Amino acid sequence: MGNSASSFTTEAFTLLSIAIVAVGLRSYARISTVGLRGLCFDDYLMPCAAVIYALETATAYAVGAWWFGLANNGMTDEQRQALDPKSHEYHLRVGGSKTQLVGWSLYTLLLWTLKLCMCHFYSRLTSGIHHLQIRVKVGYIIIAATYIATELSILLGCHPLSKNWQINPDPGNHCQPAISKIDLYVTVVLNVVTDMYLMSIPMPMLWRAQLSTRTKISLILIFGGGVFVMMAGILRCALIIKDPVGGAQAAGSWACRETFVAVIIGNAPMIYPLCRHTLQRVYSTLSVHRSGYSRSDSHPSGSLPLKSRLSAPARRGKLRSVNPLPTTLNDGDDEDWGSRARIVEAGGDGVEGHEGVGVRAGVKADADREGITVTRETNIRTDTAESSPVRGPAPAITRMKKSDPGDPQFKYREDEGLKDTVFARKA
């Protein structure tokens, strides 16, 4: 018992430390790209989630370290009658039951706080796309409704509230917080439903996106990480149902693991670009050092000329980005981990176009703010062959270049530092 408690303590606080580091990296990545004034609601809410996670970990620790895993469950009627209310065991069971109730409340508060963070992130991700914005607003309603329902089942499932730590007579399963089936079923079902809905918002876009297989898989794993949270929640429920006596403490361990995974997944979309750019910078530095020796004969000074392909605004320092400067070592490789690809939706009103998902590439500061940005673009085609932007016979990608602003037959969208303005799926 002592070794098991010690092992859980080490694991729980290790996971807490990693989660706090993840939240710190997220905050650093956001501040370095948008500044303090550019932070959004979810950027402030995530540190609050870290505090809730710390309280939940402390509660799970108290269940084993203070109350030795005891609560008002796992007792026969004879044992309940024989237990002296002034005994130490009685005190442990009452304290354990109260702590279990607090733990349930913190557990649900943390999970739904993280869901709210993800939903607000999706609201920025889908800005300008009407039908996806509606789905995000529906997500806010679902999160609020399911959280209220979950908390009401925890706090009002047993009435009066004091029966949650009653020892004798047996208060019934619904008044035993460690193994209450009402709490289990309501929380697991609503948790799975909300996670599935939130994952359904970005998945269709990612699936249709014109990205390399490796990049697409990595993004699907990041945004589909809620599957692991759902699996951990279902496993936690199964442990308690299978072993009502010893399963409660094991379920507490799985609750910490589940919420840890949820914290990491909630921060992964913001941490991913930072990690990607760091790895690219290390790779570029190593490549320069390796190639420097092989080119030393042709360059007696020992320097390696790197021809920058940045646009004029970027060379003048107007574009602020955490990206490493693209050089001839990695320029043009948009399928690399350092790709500047972003998800866009093609289509528009009053012009010849279509709905679809493509990618936009180039050196652009706001492309690094979220790692992935969804915008609405228009695939425009002129009536004359002379002004057609399509290159080559039936290409898979249609590239539209900037034309003379005075030409009324060709419209374009110009972004600072982005010369090839749009990449969209060909109609």
Q: Are residues 252 and 341 in the same domain?
A: no
392: left (phi over 0), alpha (psi -120 to 50) or beta: left
Q: Are residues 343 and 232 part of one domain?
A: no
pLDDT confidence of residue 280: 82
- Quick one: DSSP state of residue 358? E
Q: What's the confidence (pLDDT) of residue 255?
A: 87
Nearest CA to 126 among 201, 186, 24?
A: 201
- CA–CA distance, 267 with 262 (Å, rounded to integer): 9
Question: How far is it, in rounded angstroms, from Cα 346 to Cα 128?
Answer: 12
Q: Cβ(282)–Cβ(213) under 8 Å? A: no
**CATH at 101:** 1.20.1070
Closest of 105, 90, 100, 93 to residue 68, by C-alpha: 93
pLDDT at 80: 95
- pTM (whole model) above 0.85: no
Which of these, 400, 380, 403, lies nearest to 390 by C-alpha position? 400
Q: Which range of residues forms the domain containing residue 64?
A: 2-277
- Pair 262, 223: CB distance under 8 Å: no
Which of 226, 261, 277 is the endpoint of a domain? Answer: 277
Examine the domain organization and report whether 367 and 271 are in the same domain. no
Give me Rg for the CA atoms of the chain: 28
Flag whether 400 is in a domain: yes
Written as tens digits, the pLDDT of the chain (427 aa) is: 556 667 888 999 999 999 999 999 999 999 998 999 999 999 999 999 999 999 999 999 999 889 988 999 989 999 999 999 999 999 999 999 999 999 999 999 999 999 999 999 999 888 888 889 999 999 999 999 999 999 999 999 999 999 999 999 999 999 999 999 999 999 999 999 999 999 999 888 888 878 888 888 888 888 888 898 999 889 888 888 888 777 677 777 888 899 999 999 999 988 988 888 888 888 888 877 776 555 544 444 444 444 444 444 444 444 333 333 233 233 333 333 333 334 444 444 433 333 333 333 333 334 344 444 444 444 444 444 444 444 444 444 333 443 444 443 333 333 333 333 333 333 3
In a domain, 297, yes or no: no
Which position has the token pair 């690094």? 368
- Domain check: are 225 and 107 in the same one? yes
37 and 155 assigned to the same domain: yes
The verdict on 19 and 129 lying in the same domain is yes
In a domain, 266, yes or no: yes
Going from the C-alpha of 326 to that of each of 278, 346, 369, the distances in angstroms are 13, 27, 18
Q: Give the model's pLDDT for residue 69.
A: 87
76 and 11 belong to one structural domain: yes
Q: How many domains does one find in the chain?
A: 2
- Residue 36 domain flag: yes
Pairing of strands 375-377, 342-346: parallel
Residue 290 in any domain: the answer is no
Do residues 86 and 204 both lie within one domain? Answer: yes
Provide CB contacts within 8 A for 408, sequence distance 6+. Answer: none
Strands 356-360 and 342-346: antiparallel
Per-residue pLDDT, 273: 83
Is residue 368, in this structure, part of any structural domain at all?
yes
What burial letters (b/e) apply to 114-124, b meaning 16+ CB within 10 Å?
A: bbbbbbbbbbe
pLDDT of residue 197: 96
Both structure tokens of 167: 């020892």
- Assess whether 100 and 219 both reside in one domain: yes
pLDDT for 28 equals: 94
- Quick one: tokens of 238? 């199964």
Note whether 142 and 206 are same-domain residues.
Answer: yes
At residue 365, the pLDDT reads 37
pLDDT number for residue 206: 83
